Structure 1
């Protein structure tokens, strides 16, 4: 198996040939052959090496960036019928989307264009592509936390569930949350996302995209709470008391995560605070 640096070097050679005018077929075949698809786990190391290679190339003045941009945009727009979620060809939109994040990091003057492309990709029907959106955003958060976090709050405000899902997943990365202010910012993202979820009607909550958001909130809140336990548990306690079965489910799912085990006293408090249907019945009888 090639090492990360060796594989990135191979990708650079094939990318350079494409940039010199050769068709992209060889590059696409290389990626599909090494994609590990069909299968349960796409080759994420390959995707990361591709994005890293793109980041290096766009930083070099001799690179024909227009041709590279055309390649990424073509792959990112591949429809589901041409690149199904478990087909090797889905590696192409996945690496393109991840590369948008690295391009924004390597060329900050492209930031607005790349974040707009990621916002569109966040609603892709393929979950593998959506995961790459979150990973791309994490690269951007690592490079410019304040700017990227501000953009994610605007995604949440739009009320579109898959964009909200991308935002909560992006900030739920322990490696990004060592700084206290970042952890607090990430909690604000989670809180705003939950607030948006609360306003979805029962009928809306049956929608597949809203259910994907619910599923994500079932783990992201605990990741951020572990980074800022005082504020995080306070938010979870507020949510636990709400007479909303979906919110109670979200809190319960987060309570199950091993990352919260060091705070047994707070988990006990949460368990006590959880709203139960019989409480509503008792209130109705009063």
Structure 2
């Protein structure tokens, strides 16, 4: 039995116990102990997310219990689980659980997105990453609800909320589906307009968004090379240091260099 299979088996058993008794002690103890092992975090969080979704989809009566559990975990404050603390894994599980529960229906998606928007601005990087992954989880099944909401995040949200929207929509599997590449392109364009018109660019949050855009735009261009490269050429003409940095970084992405070497060389020469 692989580590992943073991995690799924154990989490399923412990979640069943929680649903039957309402007691979280054994479940939380297991997640905290196992989460401290090297390399355990992604598989353990993934096992928790998958089992939560399976249980919630199978029995609507369990869905509220699982939602309340995930909210409890996600609401652990920074002082209760500072960066690099073992209890951060509990919060990641809660946030990913919120995302996967949100994927079950449009009615579930709306409150889940509200929670993920809050988590996207958390001071802890690990929690912000979980929020972006939670967006992906909902978007994979509820795109008609999620895409308009992400547009609102981009139009009026903070730098970190914008970052979560961008992270969520550039999942490679999603970019292979109809309509997602176009939505991702429009979100990136709106974010870059906000950057171009921004005066405040010194914050850590702005830097985090800029760093993310340094690779995500290439994924969108690879999915929509026609309008994508034309847009990149337009960006390359702008006299803006952050926009030009983003263009340069995306031109370094190996996927674009291998598939479109001449186009990449032309735009790189244009930007200098």
Q: 1:233 to 1:36 in 2, by over 3 A?
A: farther
Is the Cα–Cα contact under 8 Å of residues 31 and 92 in structure 1 kept in the other structure? yes
Select between 58-67 and 100-109 the one with higher mean Cα deviation. Answer: 58-67
Could you tell me how far apart the structure 2 residues matched to 1:101 and 1:180 are?
21
Mapped pair 1:249 → 2:254: no
Q: How many residues align?
A: 271
Could you tell me how far apart the structure 2 residues matched to 1:108 and 1:146 are?
8
Q: 1:34 to 1:2 in 2, by over 3 A?
A: farther
> 1:240 maps to what in 2?
236
Is the Cα–Cα contact under 8 Å of residues 109 and 146 in structure 2 kept in the other structure? no
Residue 28 (structure 1) shift: 1.3
Could you tell me how far apart the structure 2 residues matched to 1:249 and 1:176 are?
26
Work out which of the residue numbers 53, 56, 59 in structure 2 matches 1:55. Answer: 53
Could you tell me how far apart the structure 2 residues matched to 1:62 and 1:177 are?
31
- Mapping 1:83-122, distance limit 5 Å: 83-122=81-120
- Mapping 1:9-48, distance limit 5 Å: 9-36=9-36, 43-48=41-46
Is the Cα–Cα contact under 8 Å of residues 73 and 90 in structure 2 kept in the other structure? yes
Normalising by structure 1, what TM-score? 0.88
Could you tell me how far apart the structure 2 residues matched to 1:62 and 1:103 are?
11
Q: The residue matched to 2:130 in structure 1 has which SS? A: helix
- Mapping 1:152-171, distance limit 5 Å: 152-171=150-169
Q: Which runs of 5+ in 2 are unaligned?
A: none
RMSD of aligned residue pairs (Cα, Å): 1.9
Q: The residue matched to 1:83 in structure 2 has which SS? A: coil
Could you tell me how far apart the structure 2 residues matched to 1:67 and 1:101 are?
15
> 2:255 maps to what in 1?
259
> 2:65 maps to what in 1?
67
Q: Which runs of 5+ in 1 are unaligned?
A: 277-286
Is the Cα–Cα contact under 8 Å of residues 85 and 126 in structure 1 kept in the other structure? yes
- Mapping 1:182-221, distance limit 5 Å: 182-201=180-199, 204-221=200-217
Is the Cα–Cα contact under 8 Å of residues 11 and 51 in structure 2 kept in the other structure? yes
Could you tell me how far apart the structure 2 residues matched to 1:157 and 1:214 are?
16
Q: 1:240 to 1:180 in 2, by over 3 A?
A: farther
Select between 4-13 and 162-171 the one with higher mean Cα deviation. Answer: 4-13
Could you tell me how far apart the structure 1 residues matched to 2:239 and 2:210 are?
16
Q: 1:253 to 1:156 in 2, by over 3 A?
A: same
Is the Cα–Cα contact under 8 Å of residues 57 and 63 in structure 1 kept in the other structure? no
Is the Cα–Cα contact under 8 Å of residues 96 and 131 in structure 2 kept in the other structure? yes
- Deviation readout 1:203-243 (Å, 9 max, x if unpaired): x2111111111111111101111111111111111111110
- Deviation readout 1:58-85 (Å, 9 max, x if unpaired): 2233744433322211211111121122
Is the Cα–Cα contact under 8 Å of residues 180 and 228 in structure 1 kept in the other structure? no
Could you tell me how far apart the structure 1 residues matched to 2:78 and 2:140 are?
30
Is the Cα–Cα contact under 8 Å of residues 137 and 170 in structure 1 kept in the other structure? yes
